[in-house]
Amino acid sequence: MLISQFAKATGLSVDTVRFYIAKGLLKPERSARKGGANPYQVFSADDVTAAQMIRLQQSLGYSLAEIGALAEEYRRGTGSPERTAEVLRKQIVRLEERQRELDAALVFLKSKLEWVEAGQPGSAPAPNAYLC
């Protein structure tokens, strides 16, 4: 499929697809049969899966640099169960820290809402008291 079809199939904008290609996150084939001197990029079902994995990894908090490094390990076949476990453990720690931050933010916001709904008696809750 061509870039516009790929973008539609993945729910990404064409600009995002081009950005991912420029960063080396996606590596579509070049078609000598289409595009003349500037061959078209042709995407496969594997590229759709790769795009879905990129979006999933981003939602889990991975940076694009980390995603690119992991994708390259996968392409080279140098990944191992031990390496996968290491990466997963690291991300679990990050997400648990993010969860603590979000929990603190929720406590602050709920306290602030209670304060507002009670007519703002006394001092407003301070965000630093909740470590957000």
Collapsing DSSP states into helix, strand and coil, what is residue 14? helix
Residue length, the chain? 132
Position of tokens 């064409």?
A: 14
Query: What H or E segment, with its residue span, contains residue 89?
Result: helix 81-117
Domain count across the chain: 2
pLDDT at 85: 92
**pLDDT of 15 over the 90 cut:** yes
Does the pTM exceed 0.85? no
More confident residue, 47 or 34: 47
| pLDDT range class, residue 114, cuts 50, 70, 90 | very high
| Boundaries of domain holding 106 | 94-132
Does 116 share its domain with 54? no
Question: Is the distance from CB of 77 to CB of 84 less than 8 angstroms?
Answer: no
Residues 62 and 114 in one domain: no
Q: What tens digit of pLDDT does each residue of 17-41 get? A: 999 999 999 999 987 666 566 778 9
Residue 18 exposure: Cα atoms within 13 Å on the Cβ side: 5
75 domain-assigned? yes
Phi, psi of 30 (to 5 degrees): -100, 135
- CA dist., res. 81 & res. 63, Å (int): 21
Output the average pLDDT for the chain.
89
